[in-house]
Chains A and B, each alone.
Chain A
Amino acid sequence: MAADMRLPTVRKQVSLSGSKSAIASLVVPGDVITTDTGFMRGHGTYLDEEKLTASVAGEVERVNKLICVRPLKTRYNGEVGDVVVGRITEVQQKRWKVETNSRLDSVLLLSAVNLPGGELRRRSAEDELSMRDYLQEGDLISAEVQAVFSDGALSLHTRSLKYGKLGQGVLVQVSPSLVKRQKTHFHYLPCGSSIILGNNGFIWLYPTPGQQDEDAGGYYTSIEPVALSDREVISRLRNCILALAAHKVMLFDTSVLYCYESSLTHQIKDILKPEVMEEVVLQTRHRLADQEG
Chain B
Amino acid sequence: MPVDRRRIRGPDESQSPYHFISKESQKCLASGDRRSDDSQRGPLDIRPIFARCGLNSQAKGSAYIEAGNTKIICSVYGPRETERKDETDMKSGRLVADMRFAPFACHKRGAWVQGNEEKDLSLGLLESLRPGVCLHKYPRSQIDVCVMVLESDGPALSHAVTCASLALADAGIEMYDMVLGCTVRHTGTTQLLDPTFSEVQDDQDGVFVENQGSVTLSLMPNMNQVSGLQSDGVMEQESLKAAVQACIEGCYKLYPVIQHTLLKTVRKNAPPSEN
Contact = CB atoms under 8 A, between A and B. Distances in A.
A19 interface: yes
B270 A58 contact: yes
Interface in B220-262: 220-223, 258-259, 262
Contacts of A248: 271-272
B66 interface: no
Contacts of B274: 180, 250
A28 B269 contact: no
Contact of B220 (A30, A46, A175, A250): A30
A19 B275 contact: yes
A56 B175 contact: yes
A250 B272 CA distance: 7
Interface residues of A, number: 39
Contacts of A30: 175-178, 220-223
B60 A73 contact: yes
A264 to B, nearest CB: 25
B272 A29 contact: no
Given A19-B275, A57-B169, A29 B176 contact: yes
Interface stretch (B105-113, B133-141, B146-154, B191-199): B133-141
A28 B259 contact: yes
Contact of B171 (A23, A53, A73): A73
Interface in B119-147: 132, 134, 138-141
A165 interface: no
A104 B81 contact: yes
| Residue of B132, B138, B223, B262 with most chain A CB atoms under a 10 A cut-off | B262
A76 B275 CA distance: 20
Contacts of A29: 132, 169, 174-178
B11 to A, nearest CB: 52
Contacts of A74: 172
Contact of A28 (B132, B172, B178, B272): B178
Contacts of A178: 271-272
A259 interface: no
By Cβ-Cβ distance, the 4 closest A-B pairs, closest first, are A30-B177, A71-B172, A30-B222, A55-B174
Interface of A: 13, 17, 19, 22-23, 26, 28-32, 44, 46, 48, 53, 55-59, 61, 70-75, 103-105, 151-152, 175, 177-178, 180, 248-250
24 contacts: A22-B270, A28-B169, A28-B258, A29-B169, A29-B174, A29-B175, A29-B176, A30-B175, A30-B223, A46-B174, A55-B134, A56-B169, A57-B266, A59-B270, A72-B270, A73-B171, A103-B138, A103-B141, A104-B140, A151-B90, A177-B271, A178-B271, A248-B271, A248-B272
